Amino acid sequence: MTITLAPSLHRNQAIIKIDFKYNTEVKNYINAIEGVYWSKTHNSFYIVNSSINKRKIYKAFRLKKWYVDYSAFPKKTNTIPKVKNIDVIIKLPVLIESSQKELEKFKRWMQQKRLSTNTVNTYFEVTAFFLRYAQLKQKTISTKLIEQFNYDFIVRPNKSISYQNQCISGIKKYLDYKNMEVLDIDLERPKKPKKLPEVLSEDEIKHVLQHITNLKHKTLIALIYSAGLRIGEALKLRVKDIDSNRMVIHIKSAKGKKDRYTLLSPKFLELLREYYKTYQPKTYLFEGQSGGLYTSSSAQNILKKATYKAKITKPITLHTLRHSFATHLLENGTDIRYIQTLLGHSSPNTTMIYTHVSQTSIRNIKNPFDNL
C-alpha cells in the first residue's frame, strides 16, 4: 500500500493532503488519526501542515509498514502553493500551546451543548483559523480584529457565502463560550443564492441502483432514496428503528433534535431483509468493518462510482437522493404537507422549493402563447 503526501491549501490554511488507492481498512485507519479531517473540496483526507503533524502521520503509516511517498514536498517545506484570487498569501503561525488547549476546551463545550458533529468540527476549524490570525497580528480579540479577519481571509479571496456564514457563526459561538461581548461588529450575513436542487429522474435512480452490485451498498443507497433521509440519519439508524408491522421507519434526534416517522417501502423491505440475513447487523443498521458507524465518505464514494457507471453527468451527492424522493412524491400527487412531515422540515416554505422542480407542476401550467 502506497500513501501519498502532498502540500496544499484548504481554506487558506496550509495542509498535507493524504491520498491512497481506495481501501476500507486504510480509510478507517487514517480517519482515526487525531487531527485528520475529510475535505470535500480536495476529495481527500488532510491534516494541518506542520513539522509535528508530518512526523506524526509518517510514523503512523510506517507502523503499518505502508510505503509513504512524500516526494511532492519541496526541500523547504514552508513554501506555500499559489492560490488564485489572492494577491498575497499570509502564512499563519501554529497555535501556541495555551491556545490549542483552549480550543480543545471550546470543542468539548460545543459537544456538551449537543451541537451536531459537523457543526462542532466546522466551528472548531474556523475558530482555529481566526485564533492563528489573532496570534499573527499579536492582538486580542476585538471588533476591529474580527472585521479585518473577515476581509483578509473571506471577502478578499472571494470565499463562498456559506463559508463566510460559517466563520461568523463559529467566531460568535467562541465569543459565547468565552463569555465575551464584542459590540457593533459590522459583519452582515450575506444571503445565499436560492438555487434549485439537482434531481434525478425515477429512471436515473433505477440505473444508479442497477450499477451497484454490493448488497450492503445497494441497500444503503436505496434506503436514502426510498425514505428521503439525510445521510447522517441513515447511518445512525438502528435495527430496532425499522417497524415492518406499521411499515414506517423511526428517525430519532434528527436535525433540530426532532423525531419523526417516514415511509418504509414494501419493495425496499424485501431488499432490507435479504441484506439483514447476509450481514446480520447487531446495533446500527449499517456498521463499519470494525463495528460502529459506517462513514458518510464511504457512502458518497459508492454513489459517485455508481453514477459514473450509469453515465449520469449531473453533479450528484447523497442529498440529491433526498431531493429526488421529495420531488417524485410531489409528482405522484402527494400533498405538500405530508412531504414536509416525511422530510422533517420545520417550515412548509422549505418544502415548497420542490414545487419549482416538479415536472408535473410545470407541465400542468397552460402557456399563454397557446392562446394566441
The distance from CA 9 to its chain's CA centroid, rounded to whole angstroms, is 19
Residue 28 is part of a domain; what is its CATH number?
Answer: 3.40.1170
Handedness of CA 137, 142, 148, 149 (dihedral sign): positive
Residue 241 is part of a domain; what is its CATH number?
Answer: 1.10.443.10
Q: Calculate mean pLDDT across residues 355-371.
A: 64
Q: Are residues 114 and 157 in the same domain?
A: yes
User: Which of 38, 360, 365 lies closest to 199, judged by CA?
Assistant: 360
Q: Are residues 277 and 342 in the same domain?
A: yes
Q: Which string of b and e fits 110-132 if b means at least 16 CB within 10 Å? A: beeeebeeeebebbbbbbbbbbb
pLDDT digits (tens, 9 = 90+) for 209-225: 999 999 999 999 999 99
Q: Are residues 353 and 213 in the same domain?
A: yes
Distance CA 214, CA 218 (A): 6
Residue 130 is part of a domain; what is its CATH number?
Answer: 1.10.150.130
Q: Output 23 or 291, whichever has higher pLDDT.
A: 23
Is residue 230 flagged as an active site residue?
A: yes
Has residue 167 been placed in a domain?
A: yes
Has residue 161 been placed in a domain?
A: yes
Q: Are residues 216 and 296 in the same domain?
A: yes
Q: What pLDDT, on a 0 to 100 scale, did the predictor assign at position 282? A: 86
Write down the residue that cell numbers 472585521 correspond to. 147
User: Which of 119, 130, 106, 104 lies closest to 166, judged by CA?
Assistant: 119
Has residue 277 been placed in a domain?
A: yes
Q: What pLDDT, on a 0 to 100 scale, did the predictor assign at position 139? A: 83
Q: Calculate mean pLDDT across residues 37-61.
A: 84
Residue in 27, 54, 230, 323 annotated catalytic? 230
Cβ atoms of residues 345 and 351 within 8 Å: yes
Task: Give the structural domain span for 295.
Answer: 202-363
Residue in 236, 322, 323, 328 annotated catalytic? 322
Residue in 156, 211, 255, 304 annotated catalytic? 255
| Enclosing H/E stretch for 68 | strand 67-69
154 secondary structure, DSSP code: I
Is residue 156 flagged as an active site residue?
A: no
Output the average pLDDT for the chain.
83
pTM beyond 0.75: no
Residues 6+ apart with CB under 8 A from 220: 234, 286, 294, 299, 302
Is residue 354 flagged as an active site residue?
A: yes
pLDDT digits (tens, 9 = 90+) for 233-285: 999 999 999 999 999 999 987 776 788 999 999 999 999 999 999 999 988 99
Strand runs labelled E in 203-359: 242-243, 248-251, 260-263
Is residue 255 flagged as an active site residue?
A: yes
Residue 80 has pLDDT above 60, yes or no: no
Q: What pLDDT, on a 0 to 100 scale, did the predictor assign at position 86? A: 36
Q: Are residues 306 and 224 in the same domain?
A: yes
Has residue 368 been placed in a domain?
A: no
Residue 73 has pLDDT above 50, yes or no: yes
Distance CA 40, CA 215 (A): 26
Has residue 185 been placed in a domain?
A: no
Q: Are residues 113 and 170 in the same domain?
A: yes
Residue in 132, 217, 328, 345 annotated catalytic? 345
Of 15-29, 172-186, 262-276, give the lowest mean pLDDT range. 172-186
Has residue 182 been placed in a domain?
A: no
Residue in 29, 174, 275, 354 annotated catalytic? 354
Q: Are residues 101 and 55 in the same domain?
A: no
Q: What pLDDT, on a 0 to 100 scale, did the predictor assign at position 184? A: 54
Cell numbers that stand for 176 in this block = 459565547
Count of structural domains, the chain: 3
Has residue 92 been placed in a domain?
A: no
Q: What pLDDT, on a 0 to 100 scale, did the predictor assign at position 359? A: 63
Residue 81 has pLDDT above 50, yes or no: no
| Enclosing H/E stretch for 269 | helix 266-279
Distance CA 328, CA 333 (A): 9
Q: What pLDDT, on a 0 to 100 scale, did the predictor assign at position 31? A: 83
Q: Output 31 or 124, whichever has higher pLDDT.
A: 124
264: left (phi over 0), alpha (psi -120 to 50) or beta: beta
Q: Are residues 58 and 106 in the same domain?
A: no
Q: Are residues 219 and 146 in the same domain?
A: no
Report the percent of the chain where pLDDT is more than 70: 86
Write down the residue that cell numbers 491556545 correspond to. 99
Distance CA 71, CA 196 (A): 43
Q: What angle, rounded to 10 degrees, do the helices at 161-177 and 97-112 form?
A: 90
Q: Are residues 219 and 351 in the same domain?
A: yes
Q: Is 23 exposed, middle or buried (0-12, 13-18, 19+ CB in 10 A)?
A: exposed
Has residue 90 been placed in a domain?
A: no
CB atoms within 10 A of CB 22: 9
Q: Are residues 206 and 167 in the same domain?
A: no
Q: Are residues 24 and 155 in the same domain?
A: no
Distance CA 140, CA 150 (A): 16
Distance CA 117, CA 295 (A): 13
